[in-house]
């Protein structure tokens, strides 16, 4: 199920969204972008198009924005003219109003499927293949620390949600997000959400503070929706002090860029650490980076599964375990690509074999298990 707001009739709620109600109900639409009262764009099939939908005037658009924001206990006004929120169905919302939005209010809605995507769905979409997911499932079961990296709109949250689905049902999971989007099916889940400043500029609860607090909650897994500031340091320290199996997302265009981004975020914590010390923390904490990219045909795909191997002098060493090899395009412009193992032996294999975790045949064919390896039925 989606992360819905309790006590709200979803049909009555949708009716309050004015002209964009049909777009909210249309499952083909994945994103809605309102630029002022007379320009409404949507993303469908990976392409952005202008619709003929318009608001009557700026006041009608403002009323819709205020309705969305109030429902989740947040505020937007001249003193605080931008806001992150969510719809009652869990869809992600960002709103910006005057004076920051010069040509009228801006409303962006990232829709989520009413039923969360599962592994089979992403395989059918061509986002990844069975071998890639088989390896990632084994990594999650072995409590690898994983970063999902990608640009805006590449499907990081969706992919993180699918990876989180591999976590055993008996594990205690703490999720931390700016706006609750993850839709975990396990029962033992503690969901935390940040809180913005109130009208007096007080009462803010940041992701960093929630990460620190989560360490006192006896978590077996910590899942942070997105690292975007100093909480990255607290995440790394948690991963390095026994909280294995944690996951988060980062905005980056390649695995190497993700490491550079992580260094920058750690420095934002305000702690004066030498770069080498930060890199040692990263190399000791992170096991895998899953890189997502949007290709030129609009499709979202895993383009690499990369393992952090260690440190050589002051450089973090990495190796690609799987890569997406692009081979051209069809006459219709659809990218032809193959997601395949590189043949490099993953360092994490030893942990997986020792725990008796099953692996896809593509991996065991390349790297035969040691004598006595008996995969469990997980």
Q: What pLDDT does residue 115 have?
A: 79
Give the model's pLDDT for residue 1: 38
pTM: predicted TM-score of the whole model, two decimal places: 0.86
User: What's the CATH number for 119-366?
Assistant: 3.40.50.300
The C-alpha atoms of residue 86 and residue 12 are separated, in whole angstroms, by 16
- C-beta atoms surrounding 244 within 10 Å: 18
Nearest-10 crossing angle of helices 207-214, 231-239: 20
pLDDT at 112: 81
Q: Count Cβ neighbours within 10 Å for each residue of 53-63 and write b for 16 or more, e otherwise.
A: bebeebeebbe
CA R_g for the chain? 22
Q: Which two three-digit tokens encode residue 371?
A: 């004598």
Other beta carbons within 10 angstroms of residue 32's beta carbon come to 23
State which fold the 10-110 domain adopts: Beta-Lactamase (3.30.450)
Please state the rounded mean pLDDT for residues 161-177.
96
H or E segment and range at residue 185: none
Quick: pLDDT tens for 99-116. 999 999 999 999 987 778
CB 44 within 8 A of CB 88: no
Closest Cα to residue 362, out of 336, 338, 378? 338
Residue 52, H or E segment = none
Query: Among the listed ranges 4-8, 13-17, 90-94, which one has the minimum average pLDDT value?
Result: 4-8
Question: Do 10-110 and 119-366 come out as alike in CATH topology?
Answer: no
pLDDT digits (tens, 9 = 90+) for 202-227: 889 999 999 999 999 999 999 999 99
Phi, psi of 300 (to 5 degrees): -105, 125
Question: Domain spans of the chain?
Answer: 10-110, 119-366
Torsion of CA 171, 174, 177, 182, to 10 degrees: 20
For the chain, first and last CA: distance in Å? 24
Provide the mean pLDDT of the chain.
93
* Per-residue pLDDT tens over the stretch 299-342: 999 999 999 999 999 999 999 999 999 999 998 889 999 999 99
pLDDT of residue 2: 46
Per-residue pLDDT for 43 more than 70? yes
Q: How far apart are CA 204 and CA 196, in angstroms?
A: 5
């Amino acid at each position: 199920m989606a992360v819905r707001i309790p006590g709200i009739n979803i049909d009555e709620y949708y009716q309050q969204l004015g002209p964009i109600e049909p777009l909210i109900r249309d499952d083909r639409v994945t994103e809605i972008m309102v630029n002022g009262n007379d320009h409404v764009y949507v993303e469908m099939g990976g392409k952005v198009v202008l619709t003929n939908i318009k608001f009557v005037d700026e006041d009608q658009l403002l009323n819709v924005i205020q309705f969305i924001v109030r429902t989740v206990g947040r505020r937007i006004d001249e003193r605080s003219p931008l806001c992150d929120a969510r719809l009652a169905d869990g869809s992600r919302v960002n709103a910006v109003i005057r004076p920051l939005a010069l040509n009228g209010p801006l409303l962006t809605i990232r829709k989520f499927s009413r039923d969360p995507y599962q592994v089979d769905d992403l395989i059918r979409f061509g986002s990844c293949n069975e071998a890639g997911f088989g390896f990632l499932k084994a990594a999650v079961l072995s409590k690898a620390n994983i970063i999902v990296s990608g640009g805006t709109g590449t499907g990081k949250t969706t992919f993180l949600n699918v990876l989180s689905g591999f976590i055993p049902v008996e594990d205690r999971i703490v999720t931390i997000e700016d706006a609750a989007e993850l839709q975990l099916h396990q029962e033992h889940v503690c969901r935390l959400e940040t809180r913005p400043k109130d009208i007096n500029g007080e009462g803010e609860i940041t992701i960093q503070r929630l990460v620190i607090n989560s360490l006192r909650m006896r978590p077996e897994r910590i899942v942070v929706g997105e690292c975007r500031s100093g909480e990255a340091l607290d995440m790394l320290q948690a991963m390095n002090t026994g909280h294995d199996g944690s996951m988060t997302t980062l905005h980056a265009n390649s695995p190497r860029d993700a490491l550079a981004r992580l260094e920058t975020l750690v420095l934002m914590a305000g702690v004066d650490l030498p770069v080498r010390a930060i890199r040692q923390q990263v190399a000791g904490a992170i096991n895998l980076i899953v890189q997502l990219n949007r290709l030129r045909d609009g499709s979202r795909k895993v383009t690499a599964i990369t393992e952090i191997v260690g440190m050589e002098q002051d450089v973090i060493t990495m190796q690609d375990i799987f890569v997406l090899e692009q081979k051209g395009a069809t006459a219709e412009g659809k990218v032809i690509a193959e997601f395949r193992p590189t043949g490099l032996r993953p360092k994490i294999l030893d942990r997986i074999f020792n725990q008796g975790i099953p692996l896809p045949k593509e991996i065991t064919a390349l790297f035969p298990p040691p004598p006595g390896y008996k995969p469990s039925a997980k």
